[in-house]
Structure 1
Amino acid sequence: MNVTLRTCLIPALTMLFVPWASAEDSYAGYGSGPTEKDHVGEKEYSPYLNIGYPQRVFWGDTHLHTALSTDAGMVGNTLGLEEAYRFALGDMVVASNGVRARLQRPLDFLVVADHAENLGLAPMIAERNPDLLATDFGRKIAQLVYDGKFGDAYALWGEGMTLGEDPLAEETRLLRTMWERVTKAAEQYNDPGKFTALIGFEWTASPNGNNMHRNVIFRDGKDEADQIVPISNYDSSDPEDLWAWMQAYEEKTGGRALAIPHNGNLSNGLMFDDETLSGKEIDQDYAERRMRWEPVYEVTQMKGDGEAHPALSPNDEFADYGTWDKGSFGPEPKTQDMLPREYAREAYKRGLQYEEDLGVNPFKFGMIGSTDSHTSLATTEENNFFGKATPVEPTASPERFEEKITGFLQEPGGPDVTIRHLNSLSSGLAAVWATDNTREAIWDALNRKEVYATTGTRITVRMFAGWDFEESEVQRPDFAKTGYVRGVPMGGDLKNAPDGKAPTFMIRALRDVDGANLDRIQIVKGWMDGDGELHEQVYDVLCSDDRAITDQHQCEKPVGNTVDVEQATYSNSIGDALMLAYWKDPDFDAQQRAFYYVRVLEIPTPRWSTYDAAFFGIDLPEEVEPTHQERAYTSPVWYTPGG
């Protein structure tokens, strides 16, 4: 019997996600002071002394830009590092356009990932930095800004970016000065146990305008990070060079780093290509290095959603969410053959083939979401969306909807590749199951892939896979302990199925405590058959409101829709607050490689553009649907036969 609970007592239900006993050794050592080994053989009353596995989910953004990013500061963002951290901590901040802003709830962690390319150029101009103004380029671009010719100034900087020629290549002291400002702010706001400020930056590789961007995140503090300056697109557009740079960082400092790719949907087939950027076929060495340095992928953010594409998953009724498929930042239009090399689900499937051929899966990544906001404001609530960049911060002006995001390099006479801000998503968030709110614990969770993505909502999702879970166990108060001891969490591996066994899954999903009820829990399975063919199937494993599941593994009917579009309101009179699901793969073949991840859908709610129309009294845009169903995607569990 599947279990689904409907209640308004959401805060009280969060206790069901707290484990009640100690767990396996894989998380041993959590906490400070005496450890379990110091009390071997002692019988003690409290069962919570040495819980070593993650007890709660932490919410954060690994991809926020401030005025130190040139494509933010040179287009109107006046908010720096301090405002970004204060906003993430829950303080009220005045946005660059003068509108007051505040999060509904603070974040637990933040990565300010400003672009490495000419880091801090706009603040240096504003501060009349003498070292910058001592250079020909610095004087020229600064004078354009001082004369009010902001567009010309930005275009001048863009020339160097397009050509890959750093106008300040010889001025490394400028980059170092600004980088040390970044690390200093992170150190100032990092408060272990309460708020984590991870040090990071964005490497903005854009070969021919195609998005190959990565965010580099350090496990370490200022002492280690200050020993280097960030690598940039001026240095190389090749991810293998980034990995070599990261290797050098670790060897030099003894620290740790990982990179998070994002926006495969704007890569025009390069993000999950069958070739390296240098044109070589993917081999075992490449696959091992990619997974060593890039364990996690940013699957959803403002610039569209990258989980699935309706043309690739025609039987998935929810695949067409935040679809951006016209092109990239360059002039080349999108073609159908590019799509399989851009979306996470297709990469997961193709990774099974690579593992069969190479012994290593180059696309065995976890999933997170983040904002890619260029306003210094990590906003993801639909009714609190401060836009992709300062020119499209909240306003009734047409620019809010009509500003271009892509299409600036339109090919004359070619198909239109323009995507406008109206199509932006108010997405996303990184959800991390970690042992503590510290740099080390959050980085470690990212590295082991015990993480998931949401489109901005704070749905709590926990999933375990094993061989012998029972249906009743999803209701156990020690649910998490059971999952860790007898199975693996999201991001884990199952191998070599016992005779007659099929994978079993325990899943819990709790709605955002300030948000919408849940529609359904799904498992997305991909597998490779004995002929090497790839397949996928979306299974609805639990439907709210006591809806039955059909023989086609789907809820018997849609959940309904309570949205009042004109007023931009909705009701939690449909859906469920808490959903507890058990599922056993009915189509399992122990000889076939497979992956499984959970997707949780909310009931329909108003889109940010619908909230805008109601607030500003403007016409509802016709180009996008007024409602949507926000969602969460967990990192997969992979099954490998004979291993």
Structure 2
Amino acid sequence: MTQTHKYLAISILALAAAGCSKNSGDDGRGSSASQKNEVAASAYPKQVYWGDTHLHTSNSVDAFGFGVRLGPEAALRFAKGEEVKSTTGTVAKLDRPLDFLVIADHSDGLGVTRRIYEAPRLLIRDPDLRRWHDMMHEGPEGSQAVTAELIDRAAKGTLPEAMRDAENQAENSRKIWTDHSAIVERYNQPGKFTAFMGFEYTLMPGGNNLHRVVMFRDGKDRADQVIPFATLNTPDAKVEQLWDYMDAYEKKTGGKMLAIPHNSNLSNGLMFELTGPDGGPMTAEYARKRAKHEPIVEVTQIKGDSESHPFLSRNDEFASFGDAGWDLGNLTMAIDKKDGDQAGEYVREALKRGLTIEAKTGVNPYKLGMIGSTDSHTSLATADENNFFGKHSGNEPNGKRAMEPQNLGTREGRFGWQYLAGGYAAVWATANTREAIFDAMMRREVYATTGPRMQVRLFGGWDFAEADLNGDFVKAGYERGVPMGGNLNETAKGAPTFIVSALKDPIGANLDRVQIVKGWTDRNGRTQEKVFDVVWSDMNARKKGRDGKVPAVGDTVDIAKATYSNSIGAPELKTIWRDPEFNPDLKAFYYVRVLEIPTPRWVLFDALRYGAKLGENVELKAQERAYTSPIWYNPKA
């Protein structure tokens, strides 16, 4: 480290220490509830808890660069249902509080843009840092340009030396991390609201998004024994190094972590590879290590939906949700996407690939439960279409954000109306505590929604009948079967039966249909998939056609008013379903997809509020949805 860089490091560190509380929005109003409170847990999960596992605050290098000035304190207050003012001064409040939150600020460059912004200009000698300092002080456009350059240079490994100095970065990160953990600890209220420690591991080779959210089961006492694991100073960074970090943490502290791969639709095929890290066949050891550390995946968020893709699922008329603009290339658009890349970045295909790898190695690395989250960089965990605060502070509610850009053929053509407003993580846990929610994620008893809070149950067994559905089907599901995320081992003759139940969001839209997506490997070792419509609204009138498809539910969206009507669809759909094509000799997985009736997207609300003139390509409405974690069928060995 040069003497000049030492001066910069010292000044930035001092500013971070003196200014962290001010810029975090920490006004001392956090909860003082004891973390030792005992919370009674139910015998089995009876309640679903709603949360966001992927939220960024002003401590994230890009969030601050994009203009956000709200810190962890404001983020937690907002998630709990309190009213806050957004960075642009707009009053923000959730219609319904969340039950839990993971603030996942980027581990790479933790707080660095804020420190550059606050540093005295005379002490900045590095020309790039000085230029960025000046650009950020010019206003939002300058800050956003700095952030875009930072992301590109991070992907290329060409950041300034001062930002790559390991000792300096570790010292700065520790200060921010321990201040952050103190805020999180105060807001954690067992039984009422759960605040988790976490960070985002920002692995991005060549702009290919291999990010993970790392989530702690533990509180400040253990989390403070480490700092977030970063890649800037890790030559040839690979995800296995993150897993080693997680193992070392657990050995050192006795605590627990899990990692959540996210936004896999921008990995250009690298998130769910068939090969190992060296390009050769994936080994059982590698598959086992991945399965241990990554039990769930973020399948939907603001930057698109990663459940499936029309290129992969050509017989699935609902496979194109949330893909507009996002299938052009990787995160930074440094590499264009090629046909075939989708196979390594969509979750349904990953589940199928997991069966293929298991057949060769005996281990399934992609036995993944599914959740949604926002990836919001505003400190505001909102996934409601009529209350969407955007991806970053420059994308907060305004009259222009839905109008431009319109060109889907460019990098800029996916950062406007193409953003989704979702999603959320739904967790079936025995209590609203760190331990119960974390453990539910580890056993994959979770599901994703694109924003609405529909209540979805899935159980698999061998002898479920209509009598169970009309009685206490939840009790029957746990006593005689397995819930979503579980393994159904062959113990009886005949096909498995599934209890499926979906209730509409209490303040949302009716339901169109419930589908079961099945994946399996055939006798030749090829993976297959099929989507079954198992129950839908108005079944007497909506008969399957010759092609086996259920007719569309209809459309009540009033474009001029941004409204819809629940005159179609159903408030509840439930059934007992038996696989009509079951082969007891073939491994398979089953998960549920629930579709709402069409409803207005956030762009339509913007048009109504601001008079925004929307282009021809803009998608004005959508069928919001939920995806459960699968149940895996395993034949006898």
Q: Distance in 1 between matches of 2:593 and 2:60?
A: 33
Q: Does 1:538 align with 2:531?
A: yes
Q: 1:234 aligns to what?
A: 232
* Contact 1:353–1:532 under 8 Å retained in 2: yes
Q: 1:379 aligns with which of 382, 397, 402?
A: 382
* Contact 1:509–1:578 under 8 Å retained in 2: yes
* Contact 1:511–1:517 under 8 Å retained in 2: yes
Sort the Cα spacing of 1:147 and 1:588 in 2 relative to 1 into closer, same or farther, 3 A: closer
Q: 1:588 aligns to what?
A: 582
Q: Does 1:81 align with 2:78?
A: no
Q: What is the TM-score of this pair, normalised by structure 2?
A: 0.88
Deviations along 1:8-27, whole A, 9 cap, x unmatched? Answer: xxxxxxxxxxxxxxxxxxxx
Q: Distance in 1 between matches of 2:408 and 2:296?
A: 25
Sort the Cα spacing of 1:450 and 1:404 in 2 relative to 1 into closer, same or farther, 3 A: farther
Compute the RMSD of aligned alpha carbons.
2.5
1:191 CA displacement = 0.5
Q: Distance in 1 between matches of 2:415 and 2:127?
A: 35
Query: Mean alpha-carbon deviation: is it higher for 227-236 or for 383-392?
Result: 227-236
Q: Distance in 2 between matches of 1:606 and 1:250?
A: 45
1:128 CA displacement = 4.6
Sort the Cα spacing of 1:57 and 1:159 in 2 relative to 1 into closer, same or farther, 3 A: closer
Q: Which amino acid aligns with 2:338?
A: T
Sort the Cα spacing of 1:129 and 1:430 in 2 relative to 1 into closer, same or farther, 3 A: farther
Query: Mean alpha-carbon deviation: is it higher for 593-602 or for 324-333?
Result: 324-333
* Contact 2:41–2:430 under 8 Å retained in 1: no
Q: Distance in 1 between matches of 2:188 and 2:64?
A: 24
Q: Distance in 1 between matches of 2:144 and 2:66?
A: 8
Q: 1:179 aligns to what?
A: 177
Q: Distance in 2 between matches of 1:50 and 1:199?
A: 22
* Contact 2:405–2:412 under 8 Å retained in 1: no
1:449 CA displacement = 0.1
Query: Mean alpha-carbon deviation: is it higher for 293-302 or for 279-288?
Result: 279-288
Q: 2:223 aligns to what?
A: 225
* Contact 2:511–2:572 under 8 Å retained in 1: yes
Q: Distance in 1 between matches of 2:211 and 2:632?
A: 26
* Contact 2:428–2:440 under 8 Å retained in 1: yes
Q: Distance in 2 between matches of 1:387 and 1:50?
A: 36
Q: Distance in 1 between matches of 2:395 and 2:522?
A: 48
1:124 CA displacement = 3.2
Sort the Cα spacing of 1:293 and 1:553 in 2 relative to 1 into closer, same or farther, 3 A: farther
Deviations along 1:177-206, whole A, 9 cap, x unmatched? Answer: 011122111101111000000100001111
Q: Distance in 2 between matches of 1:448 and 1:115?
A: 26
Q: Distance in 2 between matches of 1:157 and 1:350?
A: 34
- The equivalences for 1:405-424 within 5 A come to 418-424=413-419
Q: 1:461 aligns to what?
A: 456
- The equivalences for 1:602-641 within 5 A come to 602-641=596-635
Deviations along 1:482-518, whole A, 9 cap, x unmatched? Answer: 100100000000112412x211011111100010000
Q: 2:339 aligns to what?
A: 336
Sort the Cα spacing of 1:252 and 1:535 in 2 relative to 1 into closer, same or farther, 3 A: same
Q: Distance in 2 between matches of 1:455 and 1:152?
A: 30
Q: Which amino acid aligns with 1:519?
A: D
- The equivalences for 1:170-319 within 5 A come to 170-171=167-168, 172-236=170-234, 237-319=237-319
Deviations along 1:218-270, whole A, 9 cap, x unmatched? Answer: 00000111011111121443111110111111111110000000111100010
Q: Distance in 1 between matches of 2:615 and 2:205?
A: 34
Q: What SS class does the counterpart of residue 170 from structure 1 fall into?
A: helix
Sort the Cα spacing of 1:71 and 1:555 in 2 relative to 1 into closer, same or farther, 3 A: same
* Contact 1:509–1:579 under 8 Å retained in 2: yes
Q: 1:432 aligns with which of 427, 435, 438?
A: 427
Q: 1:402 aligns with which of 401, 404, 412?
A: 404
Deviations along 1:459-487, whole A, 9 cap, x unmatched? Answer: 100110000101221121x2211100100
Q: 1:59 aligns to what?
A: 50
Q: What SS class does the counterpart of residue 166 from structure 2 fall into?
A: coil
Q: Which amino acid aligns with 1:402?
A: E
Q: 1:15 aligns to what?
A: none
Q: Distance in 2 between matches of 1:531 and 1:163?
A: 42
Deviations along 1:83-138, whole A, 9 cap, x unmatched? Answer: 111110111111111211111100000000000111122443455599x9799986
Q: Distance in 1 between matches of 2:152 and 2:292?
A: 34
Query: Mean alpha-carbon deviation: is it higher for 169-178 or for 562-571?
Result: 169-178
* Contact 2:41–2:431 under 8 Å retained in 1: no
Q: 1:116 aligns to what?
A: 107
1:380 CA displacement = 0.7
1:620 CA displacement = 3.0
Q: 1:442 aligns to what?
A: 437
1:421 CA displacement = 2.0
Q: Which amino acid aligns with 2:485?
A: G
Deviations along 1:418-465, whole A, 9 cap, x unmatched? Answer: 423211111100000000000111100111100000001101001100
1:625 CA displacement = 2.5
Sort the Cα spacing of 1:314 and 1:159 in 2 relative to 1 into closer, same or farther, 3 A: closer
Q: Distance in 2 between matches of 1:636 and 1:535?
A: 15
Q: Which amino acid aligns with 2:535?
A: L
Q: 1:16 aligns to what?
A: none
1:51 CA displacement = 4.0
Sort the Cα spacing of 1:155 and 1:404 in 2 relative to 1 into closer, same or farther, 3 A: farther
Q: Does 1:393 align with 2:390?
A: no
* Contact 2:515–2:535 under 8 Å retained in 1: yes
Q: 1:353 aligns to what?
A: 356
1:298 CA displacement = 0.2
Q: Distance in 2 between matches of 1:633 and 1:50?
A: 26
Query: Mean alpha-carbon deviation: is it higher for 490-499 or for 365-374?
Result: 490-499
Which sections of structure 1, spanning at least 5 residues, go unmatched? Answer: 1-30, 34-48, 411-415
* Contact 2:155–2:205 under 8 Å retained in 1: no
Q: What SS class does the counterpart of residue 185 from structure 2 fall into?
A: helix
* Contact 1:405–1:421 under 8 Å retained in 2: no
Q: What SS class does the counterpart of residue 417 from structure 2 fall into?
A: helix
Sort the Cα spacing of 1:334 and 1:575 in 2 relative to 1 into closer, same or farther, 3 A: same
Q: What SS class does the counterpart of residue 43 from structure 2 fall into?
A: coil
* Contact 2:402–2:612 under 8 Å retained in 1: no
Q: 2:95 aligns to what?
A: 104
1:156 CA displacement = 6.3
- The equivalences for 1:483-632 within 5 A come to 483-499=477-493, 501-547=494-540, 548-550=542-544, 554=548, 556-632=550-626
Which sections of structure 2, spanning at least 5 residues, go unmatched? Answer: 1-36
Sort the Cα spacing of 1:552 and 1:534 in 2 relative to 1 into closer, same or farther, 3 A: farther
State how many pairs are aligned: 588
Q: Does 1:325 align with 2:330?
A: no
* Contact 1:540–1:549 under 8 Å retained in 2: no
Q: What is the TM-score of this pair, normalised by structure 1?
A: 0.87
Sort the Cα spacing of 1:508 and 1:147 in 2 relative to 1 into closer, same or farther, 3 A: closer
1:550 CA displacement = 2.8
Q: Which amino acid aligns with 2:228?
A: P
Q: 2:25 aligns to what?
A: none
Q: What SS class does the counterpart of residue 199 from structure 2 fall into?
A: strand
Q: Which amino acid aligns with 2:327?
A: D
